[in-house]
Amino acid sequence: MVTDYYRQERYAGHEWKNLIGDVDREFIDYANSRGAELLSDFTDPFTGQTLGPQHLLATAAGHMIKPPLSDQRKANRGDVAGWAGDLMTFYGEWRRDSDSYANGYTYCTERLGKIGVVSSFGFSDLVEDADGFLLAEKMRFGVPITTAVREHYEKTGGVTRFRDYLAKRFGTSQTTAADAAFYILTSIDDPLINVGRIALETQTGGVAMVFSHLLPEDRLRNYCLGFADALIARAGLEARSQAKMKANHARLFADGSA
């Protein structure tokens, strides 16, 4: 119900209702009547970057309602609520910019999950995808959302967020991450995902673009490998930055700004 509250404005339209179900309007009214407010953003205590709790908790809802498949090389509607949906819009951006970036691998490595680079799959989006997945993992095993959030942000869950996300969702494998990306961009198993993928790609790429399922396989696999390597690179950078992130965390909580 808490994730429903945070989905109410941007993630409760008909497409989200079809993807993971409707929100609990009675609970939203109940919370509002008792003074609840929808937080627009907050500072990540580990990186100092601004994060969006609405996208974060919509991602968590998706993974909680539609848990990951046992075969990590595939993907489902829960993934579309997080990383896979962002990868679809980012694909559209690549096709829009293909005159300057013919190589999808290069586009990912230079523009996906980068601090200071404006894109539909920026650094904050990647953090929210990772954290949303990790929060959902805890909640599906019975941890209350308040406890899961406090443990992640007040303690040190964010110090290893990308390593944990990579391990739990993709098994730390470059091949698995690339295969899951290729699957969600080409699979015809779920008609709703097919329609949604076209809509998301068109949103950033325009109607004249070549959709992902029609792109030559070698070019699309190269793009998917770029996604996998961008995620692995972020996990590697995280491992080298732990001392700095712990210091950021301690300082933000010490001065009360977190």
Q: Return all residues near 71 (Cβ < 8 A) that are at least 6 apart.
A: none
Taking a C-beta distance cutoff of 8 angstroms, is the pair 127, 44 a contact?
yes
Q: List the chain pLDDT tens, one digit each, 258 residues.
A: 999 999 999 999 999 999 999 999 999 999 999 999 999 999 999 999 999 999 999 999 999 999 999 999 999 999 999 999 999 999 999 999 999 999 999 999 999 999 999 999 999 999 999 999 999 999 999 999 999 999 999 998 999 999 999 999 999 899 999 999 999 999 999 999 999 999 999 999 999 999 999 999 999 999 999 999 999 999 999 999 989 999 989 888 776 655
Q: What is the pTM of this model?
A: 0.95
The domain locations on the chain are 40-54+67-254
Q: What is the DSSP letter of 101?
A: -
User: CA 68, 137, 57: angle at the middle one, nearest 5?
Assistant: 95
Count of residues for the chain? 258
Helix (H, G, I), strand (E, B) or coil at 38: coil
In angstroms, the CA 169 to CA 79 distance is 10
Which residues lie across from 51 on neighbouring strands? Answer: 42
